[in-house]
């Protein structure tokens, strides 16, 4: 990168106090899956089933961060981040999903949080990033209402153990993906293919959020609590009425059934799906789910173009009133996801327009891109990732200028890691991971982000 393209000189200035960070999740980086009393999660089960993960890999080592956490903190320090978003593995705290805290598991995170504090990096802790204890899945997983209470109990244990040093908590990461890909389509753990019968998992996760929120507030009145939803900007494939209706239905099931209960205390109208009342909903639930939160976490990767289902397509066969179609006219990431930074501005402005004062300050809790990075002569020249991140950071700034209160930005991800059903085929890190040796190599995007952060301070 030459001087003229250095973002430090050209990136607009963000508001004072805007927090810059990087994100990871326990199952994707930790490895050591049988160490210190950790119990099995649905992801251990899923990855052990042949054909579930594209490259046949698993997460037993991954970035080895359970053992190499000091290396991760050194990287974060070098990067100059304000905060680090990481998750706690529920099966390390409650190996069987219930009962008292496993001391060895809690101690690990306690040491980690202390070391972050010494490095001057604020923890932003996700309580649930998809690694449900297998024992709870055996009892129905998120199809069972009881799992919501189990989650609140687990959250209480963690907050009791770490709440004297951790202020900011995210209850759930992307309940949409758990319900849609995990229980409806079977692409992620636990690999169920229930289609619309998966809908109770939406409600039970959100109830888990509400119960955990109340439990955290009771244990630590000073806690700062939010939830992270994955949002996509939905664009109708054409101006035809059928595509507009399809786009609306997709928006409801992907975005709004997760946002509206939390922000407005009600579910959107789902009569297009033949639903009058949300499956699993009981009296009093929405009061818990809609209780005020301190920030709203948004994960954003790409927009989605949606059409009416073509006759005979899998969507039509499943009775779904929409079908995502190829997004033409944009470059794509290694995953094939369209790169459209201004979609993030539109999404954020749209959230503000839809929810008004019910939208608390927003934190971009994930944003990033995968590319097939390689180390060549000790260097990873990931110009495409820099372009992606640069565009999206500017898109966040544009949203702030347009009046959206955005308080922070977390790059997904600090380091290449286990990309769920895509194994190690997709690299999202600012840091390259050598899968054989565990060696960490800072990519060019690492230097870019470090310079961006330094420039915002200077
Ligand atoms: C998840 C991450 C994942 C990323 C990229 C998000 O859906 O929270 O765990 O690695 O997207 O696919």
Closest-CA residue to 422 (of 50, 131, 52): 52
Which ligand 1 atom is at minimum distance from the Cα of 368? 5
Closest-CA residue to 348 (of 229, 445, 430): 229
Which ligand 1 atom is at minimum distance from the Cα of 130? 9
Closest-CA residue to 140 (of 56, 200, 91, 80): 200
**Residue 247 has which token pair?**
């786009």
With residue 364 as reference, give the H or E element that holds it.
strand 362-367
pLDDT computed for residue 272 by the predictor: 78
Ligand 1: residue of 366, 368, 426, 427 to mutate (most ligand atoms within 8 A of CB) is: 366
Per-residue pLDDT of the chain (458 residues; tens, 9 = 90+): 443 444 445 899 999 999 999 999 999 999 999 999 999 999 999 999 999 999 999 999 999 999 999 999 999 999 999 999 999 999 999 999 999 999 999 999 999 999 999 999 999 999 999 999 999 999 999 999 999 999 999 999 999 999 999 999 999 999 999 999 999 999 999 999 999 999 999 999 999 999 999 999 999 999 999 999 999 999 999 999 999 999 999 999 999 999 999 999 999 998 878 889 999 999 999 999 999 999 999 999 999 999 999 999 989 998 899 999 999 999 999 999 999 999 999 999 999 999 999 999 999 999 999 999 999 999 999 999 999 999 999 999 999 999 999 999 999 999 999 999 999 999 999 999 999 999 999 999 999 999 999 999 97
Q: Count the neighbouring beta carbons within 10 Å of the beta carbon of residue 39.
A: 22
As a whole number of angstroms, the distance between CA 31 and CA 29 comes to 6
CA max distance for the chain: 62
pLDDT computed for residue 7 by the predictor: 46
Please name the residue whose Cα sits nearest to atom 9 of ligand 1. 25
- Active-site option among 174, 235, 260, 419: 174
Which ligand 1 atom is at minimum distance from the Cα of 422? 12
Instruction: Answer for the pair 97, 40: CB distance below 8 angstroms, yes or no.
Output: no
Distance 126 CA to ligand 1 centre (A): 13
E strands along 157-247, which residues?
168-173, 224-231, 234-236
Phi, psi of 132, rounded to the nearest 5 degrees: -65, 135
Q: How many CA atoms lie within 13 A of 155 on its CB side?
A: 31
Distance 395 CA to ligand 1 centre (A): 20
Q: Which residue has the tokens 């990168």?
A: 1
Distance 178 CA to ligand 1 centre (A): 11
**Residue 349 has which token pair?**
């402005």
pLDDT computed for residue 382 by the predictor: 98
Active site (annotated) includes residue 174: yes
Please name the residue whose Cα sits nearest to atom 10 of ligand 1. 419
As a whole number of angstroms, the distance between CA 230 and CA 63 comes to 24
Active site (annotated) includes residue 366: yes
- For domain 3-457, is the CATH number 3.30.420.130? no
With residue 154 as reference, give the H or E element that holds it.
helix 146-162
Please name the residue whose Cα sits nearest to atom 3 of ligand 1. 419
As a whole number of angstroms, the distance between CA 416 and CA 22 comes to 12
Which ligand 1 atom is at minimum distance from the Cα of 417? 10
Q: Please say whether the dihedral angle defined by the alpha carbons of residues 411, 415, 420 and 426, taken in this order, is positive or negative.
A: positive
Q: Which residue has the tokens 């939208």?
A: 359
**Residue 218 has which token pair?**
């009771």
Full DSSP string of 1-39: --GGG-HHHHSPPPPTT-EEEEE--HHHH---TTSTTPP
The one-character DSSP state at 255 is I
As a whole number of angstroms, the distance between CA 62 and CA 31 comes to 5
Distance 142 CA to ligand 1 centre (A): 19
Distance 55 CA to ligand 1 centre (A): 17
Residue ranges per structural domain of the chain: 3-457
Give 2-6's long-range contacts (Cβ < 8 A, gap of 24+): 6/451
Peptide bond into 413 cis (omega under 30): yes
Distance 241 CA to ligand 1 centre (A): 33
**Residue 3 has which token pair?**
């001087």
Closest-CA residue to 85 (of 44, 47, 125, 36): 125
Q: Is the pTM of this model over 0.85?
A: yes
**Residue 4 has which token pair?**
């003229």
Ligand 1 environment, Cβ below 6 A = 25, 28, 173-174, 177, 230, 299, 366, 412, 419, 428
Which ligand 1 atom is at minimum distance from the Cα of 419? 10
- Active-site option among 30, 122, 235, 366: 366
Distance 108 CA to ligand 1 centre (A): 24
Instruction: Answer for the pair 131, 43: CB distance below 8 angstroms, yes or no.
Output: yes
Ligand 1: residue of 412, 413, 421, 430 to mutate (most ligand atoms within 8 A of CB) is: 412
Ligand 1: residue of 126, 420, 421, 424 to mutate (most ligand atoms within 8 A of CB) is: 420
Q: Tell me the per-residue pLDDT of 281-322, one tens digit each, with 9 for 90 and over.
A: 999 999 999 999 999 999 999 999 999 999 999 899 988 999
């Amino acid at each position: 990168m030459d001087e003229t393209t250095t973002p430090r000189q050209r990136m607009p200035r963000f508001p004072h106090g805007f927090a810059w960070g990087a994100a990871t999740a326990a199952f994707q980086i930790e490895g050591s899956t049988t160490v210190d009393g950790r119990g099995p999660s649905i992801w251990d089960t899923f990855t052990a089933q042949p054909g579930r993960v594209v490259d046949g890999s698993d997460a037993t080592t991954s970035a080895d961060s359970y053992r190499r956490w000091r290396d991760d903190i050194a990287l974060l320090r070098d990067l100059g981040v304000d905060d680090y978003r990481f998750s706690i593995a529920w099966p390390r705290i409650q190996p069987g999903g219930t009962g008292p805290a496993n001391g060895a598991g809690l101690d690990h995170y306690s040491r980690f949080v202390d070391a972050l504090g010494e490095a001057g990096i604020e923890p932003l802790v996700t309580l649930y990033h998809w690694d449900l204890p297998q024992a709870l899945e055996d009892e129905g997983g998120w199809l069972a209402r009881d799992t919501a209470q189990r989650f609140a109990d687990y959250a209480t244990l963690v907050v009791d153990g770490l709440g004297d040093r951790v202020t900011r908590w995210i209850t759930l990461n992307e309940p949409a993906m758990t319900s849609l890909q995990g229980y409806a389509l079977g692409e992620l753990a636990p690999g169920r293919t229930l289609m619309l019968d998966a809908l109770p998992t939406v409600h039970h996760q959100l109830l888990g959020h509400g119960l955990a929120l109340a439990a955290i507030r009771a244990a630590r009145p000073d806690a700062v609590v939010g939830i992270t939803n994955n949002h996509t900007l939905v664009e109708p494939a054409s101006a035809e009425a059928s595509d507009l209706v399809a786009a609306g239905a997709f928006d409801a099931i992907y975005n709004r059934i997760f946002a509206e209960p939390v922000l407005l205390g009600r579910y959107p109208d789902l009569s297009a799906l033949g639903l009058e009342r949300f499956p699993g909903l009981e009296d009093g639930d929405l009061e818990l789910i809609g209780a005020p939160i301190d920030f709203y976490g948004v994960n954003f990767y790409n927009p989605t173009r949606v059409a009416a289902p073509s006759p005979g397509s899998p969507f039509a066969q499943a009775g779904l009133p929409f079908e995502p179609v190829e997004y033409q006219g944009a470059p794509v990431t290694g995953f094939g996801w369209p790169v459209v930074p201004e979609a993030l501005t539109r999404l954020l402005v749209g959230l503000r327009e839809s929810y008004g004062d019910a939208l608390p300050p927003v934190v971009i809790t994930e944003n990033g891109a995968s590319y097939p990075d390689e180390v060549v002569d000790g260097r990873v020249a990931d110009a495409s990732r820099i372009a992606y991140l640069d565009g999206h950071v500017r898109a966040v700034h544009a949203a702030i200028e347009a009046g959206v209160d955005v308080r922070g930005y977390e790059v997904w991800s600090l380091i290449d890691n286990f990309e769920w059903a895509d194994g190690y085929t997709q690299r999202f890190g600012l840091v390259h991971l050598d899968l054989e040796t565990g060696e960490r190599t800072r990519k060019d995007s690492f230097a870019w982000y470090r310079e961006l952060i330094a420039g915002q301070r200077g």
